[in-house]
Amino acid sequence: MSELVSKAEELDAADELAGLRERFVLDSGPGHAAGAAGVYLDGNSLGALPVTVPDRVADVVRRQWGELRIRSWEESGWWTAPERIGDRIAPLVGAAAGQIVVGDSTSVNVFKALVGAVRLAGDGRDEILVDATTFPTDGYIAESAARMTGRTLRPVAPAEVPGALSGRTAAVLLNHVDYRTGRLHDLPALTAAVHEAGAYAVWDLCHSAGALPVGLDEHGVDLAVGCTYKYLNGGPGAPAYLYVRREVQDRFDSPLPGWNSHAEPFGMRPAYAPAPGALRGRVGTPDILSMLALEAALEVWDGVSVEAVRAKSLALTDFFLECVAAYAAPGRVECLTPVAHAERGSQVALRCDDAEQVMRRLIERGVVGDFRAPDVLRFGFTPLYVGFADVERAARVLGEVLALADGRR
């Protein structure tokens, strides 16, 4: 045990991102009692609160809304917030400016992107492929999009996509990181295979954006969506985003045209004419309060390299697996997350028969991860605020909880 504690201290001392922890409200950070021992490993579900957000939201409510009122659409920049904040997200997912618009939920943006991709493909292609292991909502949306567009939906494991592609394929909807296991799928190779078949690629980045390099522009991704309340720390219910590659923007036909995406939004024309560029991905009036909270949250990324975040993420998850192996009885838990760096996101998923009870006891002892039915413990590692001492303590408490549970049997 002492060796792992010492190793954690050494790793924390050498961590170039350690200072970023002070940008968040944590159990042992600003706004909390010194010495509090909580460990938050659920940033893959809801990121921690950046310290700048409360005052910014207070200003939006009291001054921008309370005093300026309607004038804030122009004077406070409310009207341009969706594309302005999109440009803040762009470098975090490897995109140039002018290709991301923020607004609506992830589910709504999946619907826009997938139907838009089918329309880009044209009438000669009658099949949609969807990640068979996808987050359920993506599957629901894909099924509805297939019915609406008259296409056949075929669930396929990501690794099997290249062999399933054909001249019938219109679009492929894939997750960059599997939400249950933390497996990182090969976005460059799969996107290339989709394009070779003449189809369009739609990627869900919910579990990768803010945790690792994505390279949307570099790898020619056509359309992508993602949430902002996980590794981007935008807050509960924060708006999602839609990426539309510049080369397809003039042909992108959104299934949800709204007054906010009209070329003349205040012209009140009876006929719809889409705005230029990614703006045609907008729909209705933006949710200003949560959108501007997100904008404030994104300031924590100022001066931060996504590559450095990825390096720390891999080091954190490597160290966690090392500690779990030392503290948990052999065979007590099974790691579902790939060991290979090229196949790992920023979470570790462990399988154990009594996972729900184990996670409940972990949370009672201040180690917060989450449980996914029927038997998965998920631990998310947000490199901006998780340290190596956190990792060692989480694994040590896990080992103690498992031993106590075994003693009760």
| pLDDT number for residue 28 | 58
Q: What is the pLDDT of residues 34-89, one digit of tens each?
A: 344 699 999 999 999 999 999 999 999 999 999 999 999 999 999 999 999 999 99
Cα angle 105, 294, 184; round to 5: 65
- Residue-level pLDDT at 314: 98
Tokens of 309: 């975040």
- The question of whether 378 is a catalytic residue gets the answer yes
Angle (nearest 5°) at CA 149 between 104 and 256: 25
The whole-angstrom separation of Cα 401 and Cα 361 is 7
Q: Which one of the listed residues 24, 40, 179, 229 is annotated catalytic?
A: 229
When pLDDT is cut at 50, 70 and 90, the band that residue 409 belongs to is: low
Could you write out the three-class secondary structure of 228-271? CCCCCCCCCCCCCEEEECHHHHHHCCCCCCCHHHECCCCCCCCC
In this structure, what DSSP letter does residue 394 have?
Answer: H
- pLDDT of 29 > 70? The answer is no
- Report residue 1's pLDDT band, with 50, 70 and 90 as the boundaries: low
> Which sign, positive or negative, has the C-alpha torsion 80, 81, 82, 83?
positive
Q: HSE (CB half, 13 Å, CA atoms) of 213?
A: 15
- Of the residues 87, 104, 204, 390, only one is catalytic, namely 204
Q: Give yes or no for residue 33 having a pLDDT over 80.
A: no
What digits encode the pLDDT tens for the residues 121-158?
999 999 999 999 999 999 999 999 999 999 999 999 99
Phi, psi torsion values for 272, nearest 5 degrees: -85, 135
- Annotated active-site residue 229? The verdict is yes
Reported pTM: 0.96
pLDDT above 70: percentage of residues in the chain? 97
Helix (H) or strand (E) holding 170: strand 169-175
Q: What pLDDT shows up at residue 406?
A: 84
Owner of token pair 């462990």: 350
The whole-number average pLDDT for the span 11-39 is 78
* Pairing mode of beta strands 39-40, 200-204: unpaired
Q: From the candidates 112, 119, 282, 378, which is the catalytic residue? A: 378
Q: What is the mean pLDDT of residues 198-216?
A: 98
Q: Is 252 a catalytic residue?
A: no
- Rounded Cα distance between 145 and 121, Å, is 14
380 sits in which H/E element = strand 376-380
Tens-digit pLDDT profile for residues 274-283: 999 999 999 9
pLDDT exceeds 50 at position 30: no
pLDDT at 119: 98
Residue 210: how many other CB atoms lie within 10 Å? 32
Residue 246: both structure tokens together? 């510049």
Region 342-353: what's the mean pLDDT?
A: 98
Q: Is the pLDDT of residue 172 over 60?
A: yes
- The 10s digit of each residue's pLDDT in 301-330 is 999 999 999 999 999 999 999 999 999 999
Can you read off the two tokens belonging to residue 378?
Answer: 């998920």
- From 112, 151, 230, 280, the catalytic residue: 230
Nearest to 323 by CA among 396, 268, 235: 396
**Which two three-digit tokens encode residue 1?**
């045990």
Annotation says 371 is catalytic? no
pLDDT band at 2 (very low <50, low <70, confident <90, very high): confident
- Which DSSP letter does residue 59 get? H
**394 vs 391: CA distance, rounded Å:** 5
Q: What local confidence, expressed as pLDDT, does residue 32 receive?
A: 42
Mean pLDDT of 346-352: 98
**pLDDT-based confidence at residue 27 (cuts at 50, 70, 90):** confident
Beta bridge partners of 129: 154, 172
- The pLDDT score that the predictor gives to residue 36 is 46
pLDDT at residue 31, as a whole number: 38
Query: Which of 31-45, 188-202, 341-355, 370-384 shows the lowest per-residue confidence on average (mean pLDDT)?
Result: 31-45
The pLDDT mean for the chain works out to 96
In the DSSP assignment, the letter for residue 95 is -
**Positive or negative torsion for Cα 345, 350, 355, 357:** negative
**Residues 364-391: what's their mean pLDDT?**
97
Tokens found for residue 103? 């607004």
* Rounded Cα gap, residues 350 and 375, in angstroms: 8
Which residues, in sequence order, are CB contacts of 404 under 8 Å at separation 6+? 361
Task: Give, in order, the Cα–Cα distances in Å from 233 to each of 5, 87, 138, 221, 228.
Answer: 29, 16, 22, 24, 6
pLDDT at 35 (0 to 100): 40
CB 358 within 8 A of CB 352: yes
What is the average pLDDT across 15-41? 77
Determine the residue type at 147: R
β-bridge partners, 68: none
Query: What is the longest distance spanned by two Cα atoms in the chain?
Result: 72
- Which of 393, 337, 404 is CA-nearest to residue 368? 393
Per-residue pLDDT tens digits for 230-258: 999 999 999 999 999 999 999 999 999 99
Out of 24, 40, 111, 135, the active site residue is 135
